[in-house]
Structure 1
Amino acid sequence: MSNVLTHYNYLHAIPEPGLQEFKTAAYLAAKLEAAGYAVTCHIGGATGIVGTYDSGLPGPVLGIRADMDALTHIIDGKTIQRHTCGHDAHCAMLLTAAEEIIAENSIKKGKLKIIFQPAEETGAGAKIMLEAGVIDDIDILLGMHIRPIQECRSGQIIEAMYYSSSCTIKAIIKGIPAHGARPHLGVNAIDGAIAAITAVNAIHMNPVVACSAKCTRFLCDSGVTNAIPERAAITFDIRAQYNDTMKELKEKVIRAIHAGAATVGATVESLEIPTELPAAELDPEITKILGDIIVESFGKEALCPPFTTPGGEDFFWYTSKLPHLKAGFTGLGVDAEPGLHHPDMHFDLSALENGVIIHKKSITKFLNEPCTD
């Protein structure tokens, strides 16, 4: 057995939020350095880690990326961090593969870059790594994410995960405060917010292409119960299968917020987009190679076809900003339930060995064998 469970158990016990993965990064960096990698820490002034192994011989530069951050939950009134999206598993699998591939002397050409990225959940991490330039020399970039039980079972692997574009829009709706006994002298911010939400809900897009826009947060409190509130804060979660669909939907949502609020005399005091993730762009050749690796390793019954999810993944900032990248992204079946981001998410730990195998065989394929059959 490999060290994957040892690494997982340690990382699982020290969950840290985005850009605060100090213990996580220190552990990963130390293990990479001990394995023989040249390690760069504190990338972009943050917690990103890159371990580089250069064979010294001509060949492609292969990057494999895993995310490090945990999620913040409020449980029984307490704010805590938990690894409920599997990022601890991602790091454990990649670290184990990185250690073993060097110990086995399997890299015969090119360069391998092991990338541990912070802050995936906030959408900030990939941008930090991009701005630091650590992706610029990479030719092939691979990623992997564990999957919920509803998508594929333990022992199965999805050869290509097509994540959707996602976007968060926050708006402050401004009315005119007044006494509850004289509502005609004011404009109720609640009414303005509701009108904005109704306008967004009335948006129609091409039903052939998956997309959605919905209000996920509504905050309003004037401090008393007999006054017309002046401000209301609303947040929308927006998703679309394709980037061009997202562009159209986002424009319509912004117009609807303004127009809806205006129907009752309210205005949009501020509007911001704190997070935005592009849709997946994967290379067909890399996807085929990954599919072949899955079949060679575990048999045809283990291969799941490409899967489109409304979930977002900041990995695809890399392909969005660097179009030359040949990217592949697999989904590892681990029977995760009740679901990702659930505070009680759990999964079949034995399936992590499969992730290690996929990583190792991918490295061997690109940095030892020819890139194409």
Structure 2
Amino acid sequence: MSAIVSWKDKAALLADELTAVRRQLHRFPELSFEERETARLVAERLTRLGLSCRTAFGGHGVVADIVGDAAGPVVALRADMDALPIVEETGLPFASERPGAMHACGHDAHTAMLLGAAELLVQTRSTLKGTVRLIFQSAEEINEGAKAMIREGVLDGVDEIYGLHNLPTLSAGFASVRPGPLMGSVDRIDILVEGKGAHGAIPDQGIDPILCAGAIVMSLQSLVSRETSPFDPVVVTIGSIHAGDANNVIPSACRMTGTVRAFDPDVRERLPAGIERIVTRIADSYRCSASLTYIRQTQVLINHPEAARKVAEAIDAVAGPGRRLEAAPTLAGEDFSEYLKHVPGCFFWLGSGPSENAEYAFGLHHPRFELNEACLPLGAALLAGIAARRLEEGPLSAGSPAEGGGHA
């Protein structure tokens, strides 16, 4: 146990270095599948640690193995690297210098933390009983990076995988985890409603697709309120509607896009048919035609129960007593769930918010999101400690990574 506790003290010595790395990445954010300079920085730092890197992995991903002196399992640690298409409004001295791009989700911090964990693990390589695989992933924000890396074999030989995400509503110094479902599935819907254009003053000579679209938006909510159990969280959100260019013209078509979230894989499977039925039948009743494109993106993130218990034990040991909370489920999505389809593991939250007395913290994806950099050393310590502990303890007991969750 003493070896695990020491990770926090070791990581504290890297605080200034991790902060500098994070700020460098924050200043020059790169969008999904464009993370060239970020990947180059990561590869250079790993090479300086004496590690051999595989680059351009699933886009601009970087992968490196830390091989211990003793044979054993392979435990993977993952960090995402991409930024968001958001104009930063923080006013920080290291704010984004790339117009229209911002690390508003803290992936710059995740990358810095995993680099810190790499440094800590390299320092103790001789004590590792197996291999730690470092995965720096592209394109999490568009739900494509994990799939791309898996297709290229990033999980070959991996026995378990672990990752974290910062959480600004949880104070720095704390972490939270839960077994089973943690985050929702993410799917996209594209709807095209077609009617007949006409002058806005003579609506009887046209077929109004905007009126139809409004009815579809309202009716889709009945799928949540009247066709899904209140004990099964589901969200259907239409996020964009585009139709017409003039105030006095009924357009011929209306396009909508939206997101669909669920917390149970079996419930998720039922949603496409229900959405298509509502879209097409409402359209028919308004004399329109409509088509639905349903794009599956990311499955429900389901933590392996035993892996979650191991993470909880490591949080208690590394962060200290009273620093672990039970994570609340959320319908926000994460493509870490794609890894958990193949190998057991656990994803957990790391507090990145202000002190407990602070009144408010801007949330993830907000143009004024700020990360409390005090979380950086603890994140590095937890990642390193979890990996070393899992190599020491040996493989998890048999069981499905998605135990209790069904299929995606």
TM-score, normalisation: structure 2: 0.84
Paired residue for 1:305?
A: 326
Whether 1:50 and 2:63 are equivalent positions in the alignment is yes
Deviation at 1:340, TM superposition (A): 0.6
CA distance 1:275–1:70, change in 2 (3 Å) = farther
Q: CA RMSD in A?
A: 2.0
Aligned residues of 1:159 and 1:290 also touching (Cα < 8 A): yes
- Alpha-carbon distance in structure 2 between the residues aligned to 1:259 and 1:296: 57
- Alpha-carbon distance in structure 2 between the residues aligned to 1:125 and 1:55: 28
Whether 1:231 and 2:277 are equivalent positions in the alignment is no
Percent identity reads 29
Residue-by-residue CA offset, 1:182-237 (whole Å, 9 max, x unaligned): 3222211101211211220222210011111121111111x333322111111122
Where do residues 182-193 of structure 1 align in structure 2 (5 Å cutoff)? Answer: 182-193=202-213
- Alpha-carbon distance in structure 2 between the residues aligned to 1:362 and 1:75: 34
Aligned residues of 2:66 and 2:133 also touching (Cα < 8 A): yes
CA distance 1:133–1:371, change in 2 (3 Å) = closer
- Alpha-carbon distance in structure 2 between the residues aligned to 1:319 and 1:304: 22
Q: Tell me the SS of whatever aligns to 1:255.
A: helix
Amino acid at match of 1:62: V
Where do residues 180-259 of structure 1 align in structure 2 (5 Å cutoff)? Answer: 180-203=200-223, 204=226, 205-221=228-244, 223-259=245-281
Deviation at 1:370, TM superposition (A): 4.2
Q: Tell me the SS of whatever aligns to 2:148.
A: helix
Amino acid at match of 2:346: G
Whether 1:26 and 2:40 are equivalent positions in the alignment is yes
- Alpha-carbon distance in structure 1 between the residues aligned to 2:366 and 2:327: 24
Whether 1:37 and 2:51 are equivalent positions in the alignment is yes
Paired residue for 2:173?
A: 155
Paired residue for 1:138?
A: 158
Deviation at 1:300, TM superposition (A): 2.7
Q: Tell me the SS of whatever aligns to 1:338.
A: coil
Match of 1:262 among 262, 284, 294: 284
- Alpha-carbon distance in structure 2 between the residues aligned to 1:370 and 1:63: 14
- Alpha-carbon distance in structure 2 between the residues aligned to 1:241 and 1:370: 31
- Alpha-carbon distance in structure 2 between the residues aligned to 1:276 and 1:66: 19
Deviation at 1:367, TM superposition (A): 2.5
Q: Tell me the SS of whatever aligns to 2:365.
A: coil
Aligned residues of 1:15 and 1:70 also touching (Cα < 8 A): yes
Aligned residues of 1:196 and 1:259 also touching (Cα < 8 A): no
- Alpha-carbon distance in structure 1 between the residues aligned to 2:396 and 2:264: 28
Structure 1, unaligned runs of 5 or more: none
Amino acid at match of 1:48: G
Q: Tell me the SS of whatever aligns to 1:247.
A: helix
Whether 1:61 and 2:74 are equivalent positions in the alignment is yes
- Alpha-carbon distance in structure 1 between the residues aligned to 2:319 and 2:246: 63
CA distance 1:111–1:212, change in 2 (3 Å) = same
CA distance 1:264–1:301, change in 2 (3 Å) = same
- Alpha-carbon distance in structure 2 between the residues aligned to 1:86 and 1:48: 17
Q: Tell me the SS of whatever aligns to 1:6.
A: helix
Match of 1:177 among 169, 172, 197: 197
Where do residues 70-81 of structure 1 align in structure 2 (5 Å cutoff)? Answer: 70-74=83-87, 80-81=100-101
Amino acid at match of 1:259: R
Residue-by-residue CA offset, 1:231-280 (whole Å, 9 max, x unaligned): 11111221111111122223212221112222101111x43234521111
- Alpha-carbon distance in structure 2 between the residues aligned to 1:54 and 1:127: 25
| Farther-moved stretch of structure 1 (83-92 vs 291-300) | 291-300
Equivalences, count: 364
Q: Tell me the SS of whatever aligns to 1:271.
A: strand
Q: Tell me the SS of whatever aligns to 2:279.
A: helix
Deviation at 1:315, TM superposition (A): 0.6
Q: Tell me the SS of whatever aligns to 1:236.
A: strand
Paired residue for 2:25?
A: 11
Aligned residues of 1:35 and 1:103 also touching (Cα < 8 A): no
CA distance 1:345–1:262, change in 2 (3 Å) = same
Aligned residues of 1:211 and 1:238 also touching (Cα < 8 A): yes
Amino acid at match of 1:42: A
- Alpha-carbon distance in structure 2 between the residues aligned to 1:74 and 1:185: 44
| Farther-moved stretch of structure 1 (290-299 vs 137-146) | 290-299
Q: Tell me the SS of whatever aligns to 1:308.
A: coil
Deviation at 1:354, TM superposition (A): 0.9
Aligned residues of 1:33 and 1:51 also touching (Cα < 8 A): no
Structure 2, unaligned runs of 5 or more: 1-12, 90-97, 355-360, 398-408
- Alpha-carbon distance in structure 1 between the residues aligned to 2:351 and 2:272: 33
Paired residue for 2:103?
A: 83
Amino acid at match of 2:36: F
Residue-by-residue CA offset, 1:107-166 (whole Å, 9 max, x unaligned): 5322211001101010111110111111132110001000121xx322110123811112
Match of 1:286 among 282, 307, 313: 307
Amino acid at match of 1:248: R
Aligned residues of 2:171 and 2:352 also touching (Cα < 8 A): yes
